[in-house]
Structure 1
Amino acid sequence: MYFIEWLMRRTLTASKKDITGFEGDMKQFEKATEKYGKQYRGMQERQVSDAPSDARSIYRMNDTYMDVRTFFDEWRGGVLLGLSPLLLGLIIFPVLVLPGLTSILFTGVVAEAGRAASFGDYIGVVGLWSIWFVMVAAFIYLFWIFRMECLVQRHIVVRFNRKTRKIYINRPNFAGGNRVYDWDDVVASVDPDDQVVTKKRKREILMLFLFKQRTGAEYHDVVFLGAPLRSDHELYALWEYIRRYMEEGPASLPNPKCIPSFPWPWRSLLAPWSFLENKWAAAPWSPGMIALVMIVSPLMLIHAVAHWCSLLLCWPTYWPRQLRRESTASGPV
């Protein structure tokens, strides 16, 4: 789940030695950041949509702060599924296989066959123990990949506090870590001068850029915000929802349908469906779409189970004490 954030952090914090061969691209990127940093200054005050929408992306909202989800929550389960043979082997071998075979080394008898152990039996026991230690070593080596979606906080949360006029990003250290930025320094992936947007079904991502020229930080930062958005119209509507919340308050907005914090299984069923949702909307109940859904439904079910297991192997998002106090403050800190 956090692979894209991890990759983005590595890219944005790369040294000159690490980007050898890409110096030209990085120079172009730096020029673009300077351009957008100047062009879109003050975009927080400019309306971009007449119909603000929570776009199924809000965890919590009150008069002081609003918590918003990030984009790649549905992209989880693949690591757990890919490492499942290794994980099962790590558990099954020491519980069901190795204890009974190990007794051969101490008794010299194969209890199941009622005979004395042969040289081949000893070799087999040692070989199985060796296989298990290799699996342990492989798991240790691949643990950083496992942490991308298991044994880590369940979600990345972006908190917008309209009283302190700051945004607070809560995420694992390897994915960028906790950060605090001024609301006025945010540049969103919308164009305030172009409000002609369509409702054509396609996957969109609302990106928030925090350019170091504006934030004063050592590196740029990027946040991929919101649920998988279904059109650029919905993208603009979500940004307008956030913008109005920060500039005008929750009274100017429709009440959001907040996302539950508990990992209900039915929400994991929606994760694989999000990849087919736009195709289905384009041709609902057509023979081709029905056939496609029937063909991929076993894979979707496997993905849903892996997605839910991944959530269960994570813990709820925890805000450190200082960040929690500041991000929930009802006045400037």
Structure 2
Amino acid sequence: MHTEQPAERRTREALQKPAQLREAKNNYAEEMDSSIHFKTVSTNPATRGPVYALNDTTLELRCSGAESQRGLFTFATVGVLGVFAWGWTQIAIELIMQNIQPLPDFSFFTLLVTAFVLTTGIGVFYLYVRYGFKLTRLEMLTSRHLLIRFNRKTQQVHLHRPSYCGGIVTFAWRSTGSGATCPKDDPAGTGKCLGLAWHPRYTGLPHMEIAFVGKQGQGGSELRDEWEFIRRFMEEGPEGLPRPRLSTRFPSPIQAFSAQFEGIGRFFRKSSWLFKVAMLMVWPAFVVLGTCHWVSLMLCWRPRWPKIIREAGQPGKPIPPLTTLSDYPPEIQKRLLANADRWALKPGKRPEKKPRKPRIKKAPELDTGR
């Protein structure tokens, strides 16, 4: 949505109902201001991890909204494309040898079949490189994790992402909005990660930035505890906070298999015995997915922060500059600006809805027999 082309946007909006289009533009500045606050939201600050670093200056967490589903694209790439590549290679070598052995004589039919097999294989790999590789890179041959780093000394938040997914960005802590500040939203937090957002109203950018932190929650209360842990670290420091267990940066198989069960512990305990039996019956699927998850971790590399961010907060070291529009390539700048109206806010607050007048039902007419 940030960089959508005008033609693509017109096509998508043409499929939406008028009420959906009005609702997308029905956001008010006062509501946004009131939703971003740094008051206490929980008396039990706790983080469910994974936590990669915690000291007097920085807090570093995993930042991904779909980590538990990781392994599906790896299975499709290695299990489907990999098997096809192995089989195609074996057949192609065999056919080529059948054409070379009888030289200078050769079979025209065998030569034709060889050309067909080579063309088909090359075509499939071309389509994969052209259209499928960008999906594979969500799990393989890319950064092992998305990261978020909170720096208490500089009062900044850093997001670590590959360049093709937005790159590394820096925001002011006080521009951070959280989706876990209101207890009435707790039911919607089941099975979701803690969502953080940076609106253009506070960043000066023409687009919204969103990040999902940590594991999936088993309820909104866990998300509020996670946000309270982050809030207290940035506002007060690590003193008084429970010391979390730091996660290894090595691609551990325990991480790969345990990720599949994020957010379902409470639901599993309260579920019926029939559901528990069904879960036991599909354990081979969990084994396959967990194995592919682990393979994807091993085929990726550990993300590394730039030196200026690693040293931020140390005495005499520079403070990283906040991300601005000029940090993006010119073509991306144009497309971001073209979609900037998506995040525009109306001044003031939302007008109160007028109460509907009760509908008066007419009494049925009596049959007088006339």
Shorter-chain TM-score: which interval? Answer: 0.7 to 0.9
Contact 2:191/2:264, CA 8 A, preserved across alignment: no
Counterpart Cα distance in 2 of 1:200 and 1:37: 19
Cα distance per residue 1:185-224 (max 9 Å; x no partner): 1110123xx4478799931321111000111112111111
Deviation at 1:28, TM superposition (A): 3.9
1:1-333 equivalences under 5 Å are: 11-14=1-4, 17-20=7-10, 21=13, 25=20, 28-29=23-24, 31-32=26-27, 34-41=29-36, 43-44=37-38, 46-70=39-63, 71-83=65-77, 84-94=79-89, 96-108=90-102, 118-141=107-130, 142-191=132-181, 194-195=182-183, 202-274=190-262, 276-283=264-271, 287-326=273-312, 329=314, 333=319
Deviation at 1:75, TM superposition (A): 1.9
Counterpart Cα distance in 1 of 2:31 and 2:76: 40
How many residues were matched structurally? 309
Distance 1:212 1:15, change over 3 A: farther
- Between structure 1 and structure 2, the one with the greater Rg is 2
Distance 1:275 1:118, change over 3 A: farther
Cα distance per residue 1:23-62 (max 9 Å; x no partner): 9756644543634432134x12x10000001123322111
Please, which runs of 5 or more residues in structure 2 have no aligned partner?
A: 320-370
Distance 1:240 1:314, change over 3 A: same
Deviation at 1:255, TM superposition (A): 0.1
Distance 1:177 1:273, change over 3 A: same
Contact 1:201/1:278, CA 8 A, preserved across alignment: no
TM-score (norm 2): 0.75
Counterpart Cα distance in 1 of 2:8 and 2:211: 23
Counterpart Cα distance in 2 of 1:223 and 1:329: 26
Deviation at 1:66, TM superposition (A): 0.5
* One-letter amino acid of the counterpart of residue 69, structure 2: W
CA RMSD of aligned residues (A): 2.7
Of 13-22 and 79-88, the range deviating more from structure 2: 13-22
Find the residue that maps to 1:32 and give its secondary structure. Answer: coil
Contact 1:168/1:178, CA 8 A, preserved across alignment: yes
State the partner residue of 2:342.
none
Please, which runs of 5 or more residues in structure 1 have no aligned partner?
A: 1-10, 110-115
Contact 2:216/2:262, CA 8 A, preserved across alignment: yes
Counterpart Cα distance in 2 of 1:329 and 1:72: 33
Find the residue that maps to 1:229 and give its secondary structure. Answer: coil
Contact 1:159/1:167, CA 8 A, preserved across alignment: yes
Distance 1:226 1:77, change over 3 A: same
Counterpart Cα distance in 2 of 1:163 and 1:37: 26
Of 163-172 and 18-27, the range deviating more from structure 2: 18-27
Of 246-255 and 139-148, the range deviating more from structure 2: 139-148
Counterpart Cα distance in 1 of 2:261 and 2:232: 31
Find the residue that maps to 2:303 and give its secondary structure. Answer: coil
* One-letter amino acid of the counterpart of residue 283, structure 2: S
Counterpart Cα distance in 2 of 1:323 and 1:25: 41
Contact 2:68/2:259, CA 8 A, preserved across alignment: yes
Deviation at 1:92, TM superposition (A): 4.6
Cα distance per residue 1:247-269 (max 9 Å; x no partner): 11111201012222111112211
What percentage of aligned pairs have identical amino acids?
Answer: 23
Find the residue that maps to 2:45 and give its secondary structure. Answer: coil
Contact 1:167/1:183, CA 8 A, preserved across alignment: yes
TM-score (norm 1): 0.83
